[in-house]
Chains A and B, each alone.
Chain A
Amino acid sequence: MTASSMPTTAQPALAARSSSGRWLRLIRGAPLHIAIVLICLIWITPTLGLLISSFRPANLVATTGWWEAFKTPIQFTLDNYKQVLTQQNMGPSFINSLMIAIPSTVIPIMIAAFAAYAFAWMEFPGRQTLFVIVVGLLVVPLQMTLIPVLQIYTGLHITGTFYGVWLAHAGYGLPFSIYLLRNFFGGLPRDMFESAYLDGATPFTAFFQLALPTSVPALASLGIFQFMWVWNDLLVALIYLGGTPSVAPMTLTIANLTNSLGQGWQLLTAAAFISMALPLVVFFSMQRYFVRGILAGSVKG
């Protein structure tokens, strides 16, 4: 944004000569800029309104629009955040979201990495068929798996426990993780592995000392994708943790708050923003890996 609005002082002579042409270009290009700015405004306004409302006192949120927040007297408060964190279960839920998301990211990626390496660099009968099954499983709707898994979980008494969701996310995250890593490993140069094997490397050392270190960007993208997927998941948490508020992640807690709080917008907006904070930090700090991960993972069921 800043680059475009900076005056082009570097070439004054040229600018003076073509100033009429520049004006013409600017006017002809105006619809383009207006269209883009309008779309950007529509896209960012909802989030901005949420953020501003979350800092406004309850009585103002209930009676005036968020766009009036900067009219004097300006009144902002952290009370909403204090209240949702301590009284509406959002504090414990934040911890629960982390508790659920970290192992649910690490475990499937490790298991997938072993399998992906075998799919990419080991010959075995049925390799192609098995991998085609993995590609097919990518888009299986989770709804197809909920009832049988829930029945088994009930039998094992692990509904409402972290173990249950960790395992479930590990299972559900595998097809995509295997798919992505196998394609990445498969793209590594064959010579690299062959010369390593000539030097006496075993598949174990080739995997840990060659394949993994050279795949850090892919692993980062995959890790971010899987973490965000689990962090933002509602369905899996609802099914396997639904009845147990003490282990509920933020998505589940907020979904329940939308029913119980109704018009308590100052609290709902604060709760929603708490759940968005970490993804937004990840988004802004690791945008490239983030975008890559999301793009590659878009096919996941």
Chain B
Amino acid sequence: MDRYVQLVLVLVGVPAALVGYIGLVEWVVQRLPDKRQPQVRPWLWIGPAVALLTFFLVYPVLNTVYLSLLNAKSTAFVGLVNYGYALTNGDMLLAMRNNVLWLVFFTGVTVALGLLIAVLTDRVPYEAVAKALIFLPMAISSVAAGVIWKFMYDYRPASQAQTGTLNAIVSSFGITPQPWLIQQPWNNGFLIFVGVWMMAGFAMVILSAGLKGISDEVLEAARVDGANEWAVFWQIKIPLLGSTIAVVTTTIVIAALKTFDIVYVMTSGNFGTDVVARRMIEELFSVRDYGRASAIAVILLLAIIPIMIINIQRFREQEAIR
């Protein structure tokens, strides 16, 4: 019962404390001279958020950069040795190759498929149902998706009845069943497809909204001028969707770089499927090398920084319009 008491205390206590805090802030601020009030108030309102952000994000990021320059137990400065390891070690090189595969194929296929489904469903009356089905995997955790697809890819020797859906389909065409998750390098493709299955709905919904935002007048004008549907799609819709495609792509690129759960659950990084984010956890918990784990994390961050900059620029542009 102890834990339910904990839960109730937290659910009642923390919100009450937070409202109490803002109430107290106002009580104090009201007693300041009028001129001081607008100078003090904002800082107190953002105070709790700034404190949490500093503790859980800003300080750890800086500290991780520092730890990446120390040895395994963080007792001595070793310079860039951990980066040397992270960029030359065979396991890491394999993981980075796989992340590149994820980057290219997970992103490419998800965006292309999302666009294709958005375009196709746009033309049928049962659009809503089809879209709901495709979007549904977004509600499922990567862990559950891992179980679902491990079961889909399940392998039995050809002499036995296949219980994995994919192998059953394959053998019904007379092809020998395959251990999909073990055969290198194709197993990466099968893992990546799980990611595609999860994220295609996301790409579809955003791109579909973008498609519907294109004004009919523009399209009609092109058709009147004699453009066929193919030309309308490639020369009008795609260029007009440019910024939407960019938003979707950057999001999926981030997911590709941080890929972890699917690989962790489905292969534990074995059979040549390891990825950088899982290597980091491996160094952290199995090897217990804080220096190397930190260096790998920093490499992940460095890969994501270009996207961070793009996001900030995009935000600045939006602000300029507001």
Contacts and interface: CB of A to CB of B under 8 A. Distances in A.
Given A147-B293, A234-B142, A162 B308 contact: no
B3 interface: yes
Contacts of A43: 133-134, 136-137, 197, 200
A20 interface: no
B64 A46 contact: no
B91 interface: no
B33 to A, nearest CB: 16
Q: Which of B15, B48, B52, B261 has the most CB of A within 10 A?
A: B52
B114 to A, nearest CB: 11
Interface in A110-133: 110-112, 114-115, 117-119, 122-124, 127-128, 130, 132-133
Contacts of A178: 49
B238 interface: no
Interface of A: 1, 3-4, 29, 32-33, 35-36, 39-40, 43-47, 49-50, 53, 61-67, 95, 99, 102-103, 106-108, 110-112, 114-115, 117-119, 122-124, 127-128, 130, 132-141, 143-149, 162, 166-168, 170-172, 174-175, 178, 186, 202-204, 207, 228, 231-235, 238-239, 242, 250-251, 254-255, 258-259, 265, 268-269, 271-273, 275-276, 279-280, 282-283, 287, 290-291, 294-295, 298-299, 301
A127 B134 CA distance: 40
A134 B168 CA distance: 49
A136 B312 contact: yes
A139 B261 contact: no
B257 to A, nearest CB: 7
Nearest to A31: B120
B41 A203 contact: yes
Given A141-B277, A272-B148, A280 B139 contact: yes
A65 B163 contact: yes
Contacts of A258: 146-147, 150, 265
B144 A143 contact: no
Interface of B: 3, 6-7, 10-11, 14-15, 18-19, 22-23, 26, 30, 38-39, 41-43, 45-46, 48-50, 52-53, 55-61, 63-64, 67, 117, 120-121, 123-126, 129-130, 132-144, 146-152, 154, 161-165, 168, 197, 200, 202, 205-206, 250-251, 254, 257-258, 260-261, 264-265, 268, 277, 280-281, 284-285, 290, 293-294, 296-298, 300-301, 304, 307-308, 311-312, 315-316, 319, 322
A203 B28 CA distance: 13
**Interface on chain B toward A: helix, strand, loop, or mixed SS?**
helix
B163 to A, nearest CB: 5
16 contacts: A4-B126, A36-B121, A64-B161, A95-B3, A106-B11, A115-B46, A139-B304, A139-B307, A143-B300, A148-B67, A203-B41, A254-B147, A273-B144, A279-B139, A283-B136, A298-B251
Contacts of B149: 46
A114 B46 contact: yes
A148 to B, nearest CB: 4
Contacts of B138: 294
A112 B123 CA distance: 41
Contacts of B206: 295, 298
B57 A65 contact: no
Contacts of B257: 141
A90 to B, nearest CB: 12
A136 B277 contact: no
Nearest to A166: B10
A131 B54 CA distance: 14
Q: Which of A1, A36, A140 has the most CB of B within 10 A?
A: A36
A124 B37 CA distance: 11
Contact of A114 (B14, B45, B148, B251): B45
A115 B44 CA distance: 9
Contacts of A294: 138, 202
Given A139-B311, A295-B206, 10 more contacts: A33-B124, A63-B161, A114-B18, A114-B49, A143-B258, A143-B296, A145-B64, A147-B293, A148-B67, A259-B268
Contact of A124 (B42, B126, B298, B301): B42
Contacts of A66: 163, 165
Given A63-B161, A145-B64, A265-B163, A39 B134 contact: yes
A62 B163 contact: yes
Contacts of B304: 139-141, 301
A67 B60 contact: no
A127 B290 CA distance: 36
Contacts of B67: 147-148
Given A112-B49, A279-B139, A295-B202, A140 B147 contact: no
